[in-house]
Chain A
């Protein structure tokens, strides 16, 4: 319990730090915010007017507190370009990105964990080298390229087996669930293959250490084959670490899928952020960066709590001090 409270406190402190960082970043960087927004050749009066409009002429501390107060109400301000609420915009985009990375992660798990197990159990020099090559090549493919190859294979109208849509998200959004889901299949596969290669390597190294341990021998001595022991005992023992890795991978995928979202013309968080950066829509960028950072922190929190719940040795340690297992 004490651990949970301490971890929550850390979360809040980090969130505050991030809010300061995001707020400061876009003001410390070279280039006056108002001048950047107004455009390169706009007259000084226009810039001054914009400054006043945005409240940029007030002291920084006041601006920051004002921004925080709005944050607490879930108000990230309004986009300079569209005038729409940034939080609403983020919500709509997240409804595409989150299902996409969830699907992608599922693909990665389905590819990575069994292959990692197989690589651990592989017999002979050649088989092991082959598995290693698969994981290295899988991790070396640019996301853009894997997406492209998949479109060439399965893209509707263009691919060899053209059965899946490869461009855009249905206008009705999740109102048309089947179309929405099928439009996510190819992007999820493209990102899943790459992330899966990483998970495979990770599973391999986590299990490799365990496979030589007494835990596996013990299970085998009770009547399991090596394969059974690695799959049942090894995977379970690797789970706390795996959950951490999978959680952090999930968080990283939000930005990792930017290229894929772009390629498949999905209006997700990544595509949106790139567009807003391109448009110098600083208010939107600031809000989006904060939301993303807050999300990373949240995942980190959940991962730490899950890690603990899965390992009885950590649960029991007194006072919540970290015990390296």
Chain B
């Protein structure tokens, strides 16, 4: 689904946080939105889907496939969300409903938008869980019984269960360890491509971005500072602020690869819980 954002401004309590951002995503394109924390990335993602609380002032224009989001009725937006758009959150531990078994969480978009029988829903949920690499018995478990990586897989399954046309991933890997990060990014990218959907991938970490996106937008203190091919930008950042993010990513990548190597050589000691070990086997 194509996205066209024009002059988006977001203000909380009279204070403008996002100052007229333009951003577009083509059909089937994966675009990154990168910036330091507090730069307004998550705000933009939420504004796109109408998730911001009512006392936040949003002006400008967000078009999803030609339909205006800003100022649209609650009901209209809700009908859009979960059907044509899916969102993956930063911290699945704080967003997956803690009193709902995983299966019921994943089927929520189906229940809200489609008229299916219980067995049809269960069938689709099980297929989706298998697709994101989770064992079938996970459906009956509660989120707190899963590892961080497994939880994020549940988050991805929920976002993709209805084959939406647009995925907004808000720092989906930040809460994860470096190895799991890579697996989750790869999983997300392959599923999005398979569905032919567009994706906005938000992060503060360039090293993740190269795996996930082709083009990216750099945000600093609520304004866009640079836009271009991810690979080019990573190699030769034009703006000083972009360069800073790239440098941070380099040191991080170095550390990550070293950590990864450590883990690979010393399997028994490093991953303390079974779940992390699980993720490892997927990788190997």
A residues at B contact (CB < 8 Å): 123-124, 211-215, 217-228, 233, 236-237, 310-313, 316, 325
Contact = CB atoms under 8 A, between A and B. Distances in A.
B78 A223 contact: yes
29 contacts: A213-B94, A214-B94, A214-B95, A215-B94, A217-B46, A217-B51, A218-B87, A218-B96, A218-B158, A220-B78, A221-B49, A221-B51, A221-B85, A222-B82, A223-B82, A223-B109, A224-B78, A224-B112, A225-B75, A225-B77, A225-B78, A226-B54, A236-B99, A237-B99, A312-B144, A313-B142, A316-B142, A316-B144, A325-B98
B172 interface: no
A222 B157 CA distance: 11
A-side interface mostly: helix
Given A221-B81, A237-B97, A226 B109 contact: no
B95 A215 contact: yes
Contacts of A222: 81-82, 108-109, 112, 158
A129 to B, nearest CB: 13
A217 B78 CA distance: 11
B150 to A, nearest CB: 15
B97 A219 contact: yes
Given A222-B112, A223-B113, A316-B142, 17 more contacts: A214-B89, A214-B91, A215-B94, A215-B95, A217-B46, A217-B89, A218-B87, A218-B95, A218-B158, A219-B108, A220-B81, A222-B158, A223-B81, A311-B98, A312-B99, A313-B142, A313-B144
A313 B97 CA distance: 11
Given A218-B95, A221-B81, A222-B158, A211 B74 contact: no
A292 B183 CA distance: 60
Contacts of B144: 312-313, 316
B89 A218 contact: yes
Nearest to B161: A222
A106 to B, nearest CB: 25
Contacts of B85: 221
Contacts of B145: 316
Interface string B91-126: 100111111000000001100110000000000000
B88 to A, nearest CB: 9
With a 10 A CB-CB cut-off, give which of A212, A220, A310, A313 has the most chain B CB atoms.
A220
B81 A218 contact: no
A323 to B, nearest CB: 10
B74 A221 contact: no
Interface string B59-98: 0000000000000001101110111011101010011111
Contacts of A219: 97, 108
B159 interface: yes
Contact of B83 (A218, A223, A311): A223
Contacts of A227: 74
Nearest to A122: B54
B281 interface: no
A219 B85 CA distance: 13
Contacts of B159: 221
B55 interface: yes
B282 interface: no
Nearest to A310: B99
A215 B51 contact: no
Contact of A211 (B53, B87, B96, B97): B53
Contacts of A236: 99
